Structure 1
Amino acid sequence: MNTYKDLVHTVIQENLETLMAVNSEQIQQLITEIQQAKTIQLYGMGRMQLSVRGFAMRLKHMGFDSYVVYDTTTPCIGKDDLLIVHCAVTNVELNVIQLAKKAGARVVLLTAHPENEHGQYADLCVRVPGQIFGTETETHSIQPMSTLLEQSLFLFTDIVTMMLMKQCNVSLEKMKNQHTNLEGLSGDFA
């Protein structure tokens, strides 16, 4: 039976292999798409939405106009806007992608499978090859189902956030000032 430390090592190695496989030119293209967008809308289902929400929050902290698709405050999408889809393998995601393209938005996919039909509609596919189906083109994982891709996308978008901070000259202080002040932090932590 695997021990906790064995599992930690394996999970970290799987994420390292997945993240190191991402093409640096695609990462820079993603950053350029974000910088040029009027508004940024992000979409993901299930556990993928955890990375979507985290990235939308950090984009907002940096001063980008970002939203999560289907939230009540998300505006119409259109020309000069950007849709970023995490995973992009289901019919639901395909529908969202097609609607965004029809409205004139640019579409970026963060996916293990840029070769699928979804990728045909995208302006940019960033291949993050974490396991989702267990195919040969994915990083193999001992973790269940699409767990590796979910983890890798969360880490990937956090790393892209740090790259955006540097390229856009956004300080940590500015980001802290954009963060909610309704959490009730007090004393030395405020």
Structure 2
Amino acid sequence: MEFNKAQNEIVSEIKQTFENISADEVNALIEAIEKADKVFFVAVGRVLLSLKSFAKRLAHIGVDAHIVGDITEPAITENDLLIVGSGSGESSFPLIIAKKAKSFNATVAHIGSNPNSTMSNYSDYFVRIPVQTKLGLENETKSVQPMTSLFEQSLLLLGDTICLMMIDNKNIDMPSLWEFHANLE
């Protein structure tokens, strides 16, 4: 496949996916983020990479964000939010962590593709990224890409979209954000 065809396919898939993400679900997640004292993130593989980008950008705008398993991870409490990234909602490690977070009365949000997954047993909030799954669910965006690439790309862009919305809602001066950018690089 040539470059122009490949990039057109990917951009088209992302656009179609975003047209089917619920604004109400996103707004509810933003409210949960803004209400939380600390926001924790858990996922595995490439999904974790997308969530790490989301956590970093939230930290830039003043959210106390942490990746589960990092050496500097603090304790989660009933005042905190755990955001789980799992397309299927069946990944073992995120499920175990979500269950553990609920045992501390933390709030749990799941960003995934399957609203009827096991993760729904532990989630207070759900944002569906309606991409192709093995289940053939309603309104799925079909993808020519390998495995779960479309979910991971959409998750990364959803995190940036949420941060942009929060920046606008808080009237944050964009140039002022540079003072929070890493400077030991």
TM-score range relative to shorter protein: over 0.9
Q: Look up the match of 2:113.
A: 112
Q: Look up the match of 2:104.
A: 103
Q: CA deviation at 1:120?
A: 2.1
Aligned-partner Cα distance in 2 for 1:34–1:162: 14
Quick check: 1:85 aligned with 2:84?
yes
1:151 partner letter: Q
Q: Which runs of 5+ in 2 are unaligned?
A: none
Alpha carbons 1:89, 1:118 under 8 Å: kept: yes
Alpha carbons 1:131, 1:147 under 8 Å: kept: no
Match of 1:168 among 164, 167, 170: 170
Aligned-partner Cα distance in 1 for 2:49–2:182: 19
Q: CA deviation at 1:130?
A: 2.0
Aligned-partner Cα distance in 2 for 1:120–1:107: 10
Aligned-partner Cα distance in 2 for 1:70–1:37: 19
Alpha carbons 2:30, 2:166 under 8 Å: kept: yes
Quick check: 1:153 aligned with 2:155?
yes
Q: Look up the match of 2:4.
A: 5
Secondary structure, aligned partner of 1:67: strand
Secondary structure, aligned partner of 1:108: strand
State the TM-score, normalizing by the size of structure 2: 0.94
1:74 partner letter: E
Q: Which runs of 5+ in 1 are unaligned?
A: 184-190
Pairs within 5 Å for 1:38-117: 38-87=37-86, 88-117=89-118
Which protein has the larger Cα radius of gyration, Structure 1 or Structure 2? 1
Aligned-partner Cα distance in 2 for 1:133–1:174: 44
Q: CA deviation at 1:134?
A: 6.1
- How many pairs are equivalent? 182
Q: CA deviation at 1:57?
A: 0.5
Q: CA deviation at 1:47?
A: 0.3
Aligned-partner Cα distance in 1 for 2:176–2:66: 19
Secondary structure, aligned partner of 2:21: coil
> How far does the alpha carbon of each residue in 1:125-147 deviate from its partner, in whole angstroms, 9 at most, with x for none?
01111234362433111111111
1:114 partner letter: P
Secondary structure, aligned partner of 1:47: helix
Alpha carbons 2:43, 2:93 under 8 Å: kept: no
Aligned-partner Cα distance in 2 for 1:132–1:92: 20
2:19 partner letter: M
1:157 partner letter: G
State the TM-score, normalizing by the size of structure 1: 0.91
> How far does the alpha carbon of each residue in 1:55-96 deviate from its partner, in whole angstroms, 9 at most, with x for none?
111111001100111010011111110000111321221111
